[in-house]
Structure 1
Amino acid sequence: MFQTINIAKGVDVHVHETTQFKTVNFSLKFKDKLTEEKASARSILANVLQHSNEVYPSHTALRMVLDDLYGTSLYIDSSKRGNEHIVTLNVETVNDEYLSEEGVLEKVLNLMYIVLFKPNLENGLFKESIFKREKEAIKHRIESIFDDKTRYAQQRMMDLALPGHPASIPSNGTLEAVEAVTNEGLLQEYRTMMEDNEIEIYAVGDVKPEMIAGYVKEFFHFKDRVEAIKAPSTELAKPEQSRVLEYEDMKQGKLHMAFYTPITFTDEKFPVMQLMNGVLGGYAHSKLFVNIREKESMAYYVSSSYSSQFGLLFVLAGIDAKLEEKAVKLVLEQLEEVKKGNISDVELGQTKALLANQLREALDSARGQIDIYDQYMELTEAFEPDYLISKWKAVTKEDIADAAKALSLEMTYFLSGKEDDSDE
């Protein structure tokens, strides 16, 4: 799928040469260990680098040059995966093979160089007005989670179940950690990112791998990385409380359940666990949806999700406040059915088909190809999508039942309306 060329210690270029697209897509991923402090600083940094630089000091100026480059798109975002925090520069541009003008690709790469290596500095620091503006933008982004009660309830459960654990650290950090970021600290984080972070560089398009690797060396001059700092442990500790009830001014209750499993991303049973989650609550044909939402008509929504990096499975449901006990009982009953292997051929077949279709659909876009490869390349050398699809095909009902038996319910969190509202 991708051909990998190492250009420096800790810096790899991955190129998928394909005529599937008339564009060339780039992703430069800077990976560091995940902590609240780093997530907070790096989220601000992503905004600062995206919206201003030494050559194009305003977002408008940068927008104009992108328009001149045939509508090239460029954005920087921050995310987390497992115990890593990732800052990504994403660029999509037209392949100049299809233009009368030559050299567009080189101009785009030069712009990427400017964005990364020529920040908008003033007196040796990031321009203060831009630093403050983007710091406020990240604070607003974090605060907005409170308005989405499903996301808020999930974050609250994680904070209570695994405080300080990478699984509970938001990709944008925390309000307290963002507030503590100084301009001097942000500049140091920028230098660490550019000089020390592991870097994965992706390109998808009708381009030669050797050519792209040559361009990357020519424009970016990335030096060898020092050995990565040891990432925090992802071992799961037992929560202090097994059930937590909290209240907010809202009508619909939010039930969130956290299960632990020893089966993680690197386990040979990882594909089995993906199917187990799909059968339990990952899709509209799944047991939770069919039996709790459709048959019982007691949930506005209900689903499960599998966080394979940490060995966590979540069940989420929107229910009336008085139905918490019944909902928990029904969820556990459906899980028990899976543990017993009571899985229909339709449930198993549809889950396998949907997982395969989701993977194939993701590969229909260049960005999807990059994300899939970056996510799964640790599974096997020279990862190809058929590797996963063949694993899913081989999974039996007995395999899924065994995986389900490894689950343990560790916390039930319920976010309800105000106490007096629930007693009406």
Structure 2
Amino acid sequence: MFQSIKIAQGVNVHVNETTQFKTINFSFKFKDRLTPEKASARSVLANVLQHSNEVYPSHTALRMVLDDLYGTSLYIDSSKRGNEHIVTLNVETVNDQYLSEEGVLEKVLNLMYVVLFKPNMENGLFKKSIFLREKQTIKERIESIFDEKTRYAQQRMMELALPGHPASIQANGSLEELEKVTNEQLVKEYETLLNNNEIEIYVVGDIKPDMIASYIKEYFHFEGRDQAVEGPSTELKSPEESRVIEYEDMKQGKLHMAFFTPITFRDEKFPVMQLMNGVLGGYAHSKLFVNIREKESMAYYVSSSYASQFGLMFILAGIDSKLEGKAVKLILEQLEEVRKANISDVELGQTKALLINQLKEALDSARGQIDIYDQYMELDEAFEPDYLISKWNAVTKEDIAEAAQQLSLEMTYFLAGKEDDSVE
């Protein structure tokens, strides 16, 4: 799928040479350990680098040059996965072999160099107005979670269940840590990003791997760097409280349940756990959706999700506050059905089909190919999608039941309305 070329210690280029697309897609992924401090600073940094630089000091100026490059798209975002915080420069540009004009690729590479290496600075610091503006943008992004009560409830549960654990750290950090971010600190984080972060560079398009790797080495001059420092421990410890109720000014109650499982992304049973999650609550045909939302009509929504990096599974439901006890009972009953392998052929078959279709749909886009390979190369650098499909197809009902039996309910969190006194 991808051919990997090492251009320096800790800096790798992965190229999928394909005629599937008429564009060339780049993703430069800068990976560092995940901490609340780094998450806040690096999220601000991503915005600062995207919206202004020495050559194109305004977003409008940058937008104009991108338009001149045949509508090239460029954006920088921040995210997290496991112990890592990732700042990604994404670029999509037309393959100039389809143009009468030559040299477009070189112009795009030069623009990417400018964005990364020529930031808009004054007296050794990022331009003050830009620094303050983008810091405010990240503040508003963090604060927006409070208005989305489902996301807010999930975050509150994680903070209570796993305080200080990477799973509870937001990709944008926290308001407390954001407030501490100074311009001086941001410059240090920027230097760390360029000089010390592990860098995985992905290229998808009709282009020769050796040629593009040579271009990248020539334009960016990345020096070798040591492996990233280990982040905080991902060991799961049972929370002090197993049930927490909090109140907000809202009508619909938010029920969130956290389960631990020893099966993680690196476990050979990982594909089994993916199917278990799909059968239980991952899709519209799942047991939770059919039995709790459709048959009982007691949930506005209900679903499960699997955080494979940490060995966590979550069940979320939107319900009336007075139905919390009944909802928990019904959810655990459906989990028990899975533990007993009471799974229909339709449930199993549809789950496998949907997982396979999701994977194939992702592979229809260059960005999807990059995201999948960046995740799965941790298991095997020679990863091929057919390998994962074969693993899913081999899973039996008994395998799923065995995986479900290893789940342990660790916390039930309920966010109820302030005026609802029926919740005990």
Same fold (TM over 0.5): yes
Structure 2 matches for 1:137-152, cutoff 5 A? 137-152=137-152
Whether the 8 Å CA contact 2:31–2:228 is kept in 1: the answer is no
5+ residue gaps, structure 1: none
> Residue in 2 aligned with 1:361?
361
Provide the secondary structure at the position in 2 that maps to 1:115. helix
Please identify runs of 4+ aligned residues in structure 1 that moved more than 2 A.
419-423
1:106 is aligned to 2:106 = yes
Cα distance in 2, alignment partners of residues 192 and 109 from structure 1: 22
Q: Which segment is superposed worse, 229-238 or 336-345?
A: 229-238
> Residue in 2 aligned with 1:382?
382
Deviations 1:98-140 (A, max 9, x none): 0000000000000000000001110110000100000000000
Superposition deviation, residue 420 in structure 1: 4.2
Provide the secondary structure at the position in 2 that maps to 1:419. coil
Residue 193 of structure 2 aligns to which amino acid in structure 1? M
Deviations 1:311-364 (A, max 9, x none): 000000000000000000000000000000100000000000000000000000
Q: Which segment is superposed worse, 381-390 or 265-274?
A: 381-390
Cα distance in 2, alignment partners of residues 203 and 227 from structure 1: 22
Superposition deviation, residue 228 in structure 1: 1.9
Superposition deviation, residue 381 in structure 1: 3.2
Whether the 8 Å CA contact 2:157–2:256 is kept in 1: the answer is yes
> Residue in 2 aligned with 1:78?
78
> Residue in 2 aligned with 1:410?
410
Deviations 1:351-391 (A, max 9, x none): 00000000000000000000011111122231110010000
Cα distance in 2, alignment partners of residues 314 and 226 from structure 1: 35
Superposition deviation, residue 269 in structure 1: 0.3
Residue 72 of structure 1 aligns to which amino acid in structure 2? T
How big is the alpha-carbon RMSD for the aligned residues of Structure 1 and Structure 2? 0.8
Provide the secondary structure at the position in 1 that maps to 2:66. helix
Residue 198 of structure 1 aligns to which amino acid in structure 2? E
Cα distance in 2, alignment partners of residues 231 and 180 from structure 1: 20
Cα distance in 2, alignment partners of residues 228 and 282 from structure 1: 34
> Residue in 1 aligned with 2:216?
216
1:193 is aligned to 2:232 = no
Superposition deviation, residue 34 in structure 1: 0.2
> Residue in 1 aligned with 2:36?
36
Provide the secondary structure at the position in 2 that maps to 1:247. strand
Cα distance in 2, alignment partners of residues 124 and 381 from structure 1: 40
> Residue in 1 aligned with 2:229?
229
> Residue in 1 aligned with 2:18?
18
> Residue in 2 aligned with 1:272?
272
Cα distance in 2, alignment partners of residues 94 and 365 from structure 1: 15
Q: Which segment is superposed worse, 378-387 or 390-399?
A: 378-387
> Residue in 1 aligned with 2:240?
240
Provide the secondary structure at the position in 1 that maps to 2:316. strand
> Residue in 1 aligned with 2:250?
250
> Residue in 1 aligned with 2:401?
401
Cα distance in 2, alignment partners of residues 228 and 421 from structure 1: 50
Cα distance in 1, alignment partners of residues 227 and 111 from structure 2: 29
Superposition deviation, residue 230 in structure 1: 1.8
Q: Which segment is superposed worse, 414-423 or 36-45?
A: 414-423
Residue 249 of structure 1 aligns to which amino acid in structure 2? D
Residue 38 of structure 1 aligns to which amino acid in structure 2? K
Superposition deviation, residue 227 in structure 1: 3.0
Cα distance in 2, alignment partners of residues 376 and 302 from structure 1: 29
5+ residue gaps, structure 2: none
> Residue in 1 aligned with 2:58?
58
Provide the secondary structure at the position in 1 that maps to 2:91. strand
Cα distance in 2, alignment partners of residues 187 and 172 from structure 1: 18
Cα distance in 2, alignment partners of residues 158 and 227 from structure 1: 29
Cα distance in 2, alignment partners of residues 18 and 381 from structure 1: 18
Whether the 8 Å CA contact 2:83–2:230 is kept in 1: the answer is no
> Residue in 1 aligned with 2:392?
392
Cα distance in 2, alignment partners of residues 222 and 331 from structure 1: 51
> Residue in 2 aligned with 1:130?
130
1:321 is aligned to 2:326 = no
Cα distance in 2, alignment partners of residues 68 and 326 from structure 1: 60
